[in-house]
A and B are shown apart, each in its own frame.
Chain A
Amino acid sequence: MTLQELRAMREAGQKAMDRRVGGDKSIEIIVGMGTCGIAAGAKETLDAFVNELNSKDIRNVVIKQVGCMGFCHSEPTVEIRMDGMPDIIYGNVDPETARKIVHSHILEKKLVDKHVFDRPSKDIVKEK
């Protein structure tokens, strides 16, 4: 193996590894995965987030799964926490919306107004 090959291998592996650990993880995407959420398509939403982040090579995001957030009528629900933005809960997040959230909320720091379900969920998460 040459030095270049070693570097290429490191580069290639680092992406996958960063999702596993390490690196800046200052942005949290919390997906409600209660029965209600899953029934409403939270699984697909979650996949959409994962795929979108991967394809845009966004590494500083951690995706967490939690149970029901209590807003069963607006499932799938997703909370985004990141510096420079208020903690926001989005409701009715389908895969399309998920991609939109990544695009505007995370990358451009603009709220996806149509889906904001305006209540910070800190206490809800705490209760869990």
Chain B
Amino acid sequence: MALNNFCLVCGGTGCESSKADDIFKNLRTAVEAHGLTGQVQVVKTGCFGFCEKGPIVKILPDESFYVEVKPEDAEKIVAEHLVKGRPVKELLYKTADQVTAKTEEDIQFYQKQIRIVLRNCGIINPEDVQEYIARDGYLGLEKVLFEMTPQQVIDEVKKSGLRGRGGAGYPTWLKWTNTSKTPADQRYVICNADEGDPGAYMDRSTLEGDPHSVLEAMTIAGYAQGATKGFIYIRAEYPLAIHRLEVAMKQSREMGLMGKNILGSGFDFDIEIRLGAGAFVCGEETALIQSIEGKRGMPVPKPPFPSVSGLWGKPTSINNVETYANIPVIITKGGDWFASIGTATSKGTKVFALTGAINNSGLVEVPMGTTLREIVYDIGGGIKGGKAFKAVQSGGPSGGVLPAASLDTPIDYESLTKIGSMMGSGGLIVLCESDCIVDVVKFYLDFSVEESCGKCAPCRIGGRKLLNILDKITKGKGTLEDLATMEQIGFAMQRASLCMLGGTTPNPILSTIKFFREEYLEHIEQKKCRAGKCKDLVTYTVIADKCIGCTVCARKCPVNCISGERKAPHVIDQSKCIKCGACFDACKFGAILVS
């Protein structure tokens, strides 16, 4: 009996931590118990992207898309859907207007996406190279090794217009050209998988869901640049991605897709994994090289650029995971095809990790030129809980905070830089009216200050001073002068920091002082935090007229600082209140005043 059905279970880190592995096992057990072995194949795939609703299980061929699946649902899915052919309605995704969506096509989250980088995520079993090959895997490598010269490969990449997805958007072909043109007895290609922005997990998901695409791309890059050795620098906090990479590398070596004389072409290429300890600065390419060499991960001045003198002094090209994942497709489908997607200066797609106050958080891949509005409202499904949109933070700690007025900006490298942010690696965090801008910016500064390597004075000292001032402002002790001081420090840090980590640390501050100045002024002049996030500026009081004395707030208060008789207005003891907001959330009568 031939296979009739596939059960695709998301095996990304997010879903795995929500017991996707148990779902996978239970599905297998149930399939066996119902005598369907041989007819139904249960496959663990990479991330589907719709992490908001994970764990996700997709049934083929009818493409039923089950969301928020629990291990105990496995039996029902098998018994109802696979045996009786009746989709389990309550597990299907429901759109905002409560219409049950059957398949991905019906889900708005997927409608504006084009999946190039994530082409195999959620479809293939990442631990099975045969599945990758069946999806045109290693077709690009085959083409490159047997039909193209290294220069032709670089030309094809040039035609595609692909630019580095790590943040700055340096043309990939140019990087490859610089490296290949430097005379040397050895060259290296490095894959930067040291993704570290808070909230970003594009690269992790790509590696977890489609590790072979990166291995294939690195081999192609090695061929194009005359390198026989590659390194993947990945943070040790990504155990699943590392595991999948190791499995993939083992398979590739065994099959002769990596190592000596690949596919009989005479080309040698091998890859090693190097684990990083999770220092954000090691995503900076010179610091990354130092770290691979076993030294303290501190940036070193450029020039010389790694393309001239990189790893162990040899010409080295460093691309990030997402950049690499595009390469095999560019080779198989052609640079022209790739260049037809996107805007004039930014080609192809960009993967974003969409998080924050948004209905559909998850991993999205959209063509360059998609507007923030489309991402937030069409794909993201708008703001959670019907609250008002406030801003989008893009580019992680190096990026900026963009107000509503920027929503119609088409996303590409130039447009984002123009409005004071940057593409960065692709984190998009949506902020709503309940978020305090100063508080959010403080979060990013705290991150950048923690992650500063400490080498150069502007970043080492400047970042801390900025954070201290922000802290003052959130405590109601800021002065108008502080805004000018922050701008002064920011100006110098942008110009005198040694690497981009320090150079971009002030971006969240500078962009918000520009777009959200009134919120800073409220904190400074009125000692008020409109979102109620800055605890020192918030007071919770009971409006006696509205309080019916139900005692719910008193019971919810974690520090027992609300007292009052039953059916009589309650009182909050301000000296004990920790401003957690539990009473506000608990009160059904709107009797808690936040001021």
B4 near A13 with CB under 8 A, answer no
Pairs across A and B, CB under 8 Å, 7 listed: A3-B142, A16-B3, A19-B60, A21-B60, A42-B85, A63-B62, A67-B87
Chain B residue contacts of A1, Cβ below 8 A: 255-257, 263
A34 contact set on B, CB distance < 8 A: 86
Complex-state Cα separation, A43 to B84, whole angstroms: 7
Shortest CB-to-CB span from A7 to chain B, Å, is 8
Segment of B129-137, B419-427, B458-466, B480-488 in the binding face: B129-137
* Contact in complex: A31, B138 (CB < 8 Å): no
* B 76-115 binary contact with A (CB < 8 Å = 1; else 0): 0000010111110000000000001010000000000000
Closest chain-A Cβ to B512's Cβ sits at a distance in Å of 43
Residue A112 is within 8 A (CB to CB) of chain B in the complex: no
B139 at interface by CB-CB < 8 Å:
yes
What B residues does A62 contact at CB under 8 A? Answer: 61-63
A63, B61: Cβ atoms closer than 8 Å: yes
Interface centre among B85, B102, B137, B139 (most CB of A within 10 A): B85
Interface of chain A, main secondary structure: helix
* Nearest opposing residue in chain A for B80, CB measure: A33
Q: Are B84 and A9 closer than 8 Å at their CB atoms?
A: no
A63 partner residues in chain B, CB cutoff 8 A: 61-62
A-B contact count (CB 8 A): 92
A82 within 8 A of B: no
Binary interface profile of A, 20-32, with partner B (CB < 8 Å = 1, else 0)? 1110000000010
* Contact across chains for B263 and A3 when beta carbons are under 8 A apart: yes
Known: A43-B85, A50-B2. A13 touches B62 (CB 8 A): no
Known: A19-B60, A20-B60. A3 touches B131 (CB 8 A): no
Q: Given A10-B139, A65-B62 in contact, is the A17-B4 Cβ separation under 8 Å?
A: no
How many Å lie between the Cα of A2 and that of B255 in the bound state? 9
Q: Which of A7, A38, A128 contacts B85 (CB 8 A)?
A: A38
Q: Which of B109-161 contact A (CB under 8 A)?
A: 123-124, 130-131, 133-139, 142, 146
Contact status of A65 and B138, CB under 8 A, knowing A1-B263, A13-B130: no
A73 contacts partner chain B, Cβ-Cβ < 8 Å: no
Task: Indicate whether A37 reaches chain B with its CB closer than 8 angstroms.
Answer: yes
Q: How far is the CA of A3 from the CA of B144 in the complex (A)?
A: 12
A19 close to B138 (CB less than 8 A):
no
B6 within 8 A of A: yes
Q: List which A24-76 residues lie within 8 A (CB) of chain B.
A: 31, 33-35, 37-38, 42-43, 46-47, 50-51, 54, 62-65, 67
- Docked Cα-Cα span, A63 to B103, in Å, equals 13
A6 near B: Cβ within 8 Å? yes
Let me know if B134 and A37 touch, CB within 8 A.
Answer: no
Contact B85 A47 (CB under 8 A): no
Is the beta-carbon distance between A33 and B60 smaller than 8 angstroms? no
Smallest CB–CB gap between A14 and chain B, Å?
Answer: 5
Chain A residue numbers with a CB within 8 Å of B123 are: 20-21
Q: Complex formed: what's the CA distance from A62 to B255 in Å?
A: 33
| A22–B255 alpha-carbon span in the complex (Å) | 26
The verdict on B304 contacting chain A, using a C-beta distance below 8 Å, is no
A12–B264 Cα gap in the complex (Å)? 21
**A residues less than 8 Å from B84 (CB atoms):** 33, 35, 38, 43
A34→B61 CA distance, assembly (Å): 18
Which residues of B lie under 8 Å from residue A7 when comparing CB positions? 142
Q: Out of B102, B134, B264, name the residue touching A10 (CB < 8 Å).
A: B134
> Does B85 lie within 8 Å of A65, measured CB to CB?
yes
Q: Are B85 and A3 in contact (CB under 8 A)?
A: no
Instruction: Give bound CA distance, A47 to B133, whole Å.
Output: 28
Bound-state CA distance A100–B8 (Å) is 31
Q: Which residues of B contact A65 (CB under 8 A)?
A: 62, 81, 85-87
- CB-CB under 8 A from A31, the residues of chain B are 85
Partner of B4, one of A2, A3, A46: A46
Q: How far is the CA of A37 from the CA of B84 in the complex (A)?
A: 9
Q: Is the Cβ of B133 less than 8 Å from the Cβ of A13?
A: yes
The reply to whether B86 and A67 form a contact with Cβ atoms under 8 Å apart is: yes
Q: Which residues of A are found within 8 Å of B146, using beta-carbon distances?
A: 3
Min C-beta distance of B154 to chain A, whole Å: 23
Cβ contact of A17, chosen from B2, B81, B87, B134, cutoff 8 A: B134
With contacts A2-B263, A47-B1, A54-B2 known, is A13 near B134, CB below 8 A?
yes
Chain A residues within 8 Å of B87, by CB: 65, 67
In the A-B complex, the 5 residue pairs with the closest CB atoms: A13-B134, A33-B85, A17-B134, A1-B256, A65-B85
Q: How far is the CA of A62 from the CA of B87 in the complex (A)?
A: 16
A50 to B3, CA, bound (A): 8
Known: A6-B133, A21-B123, A43-B84. 6 other contacts (CB 8 A): A1-B263, A13-B131, A17-B134, A20-B60, A64-B61, A128-B100
Chain A residue nearest in CB terms to B103: A64
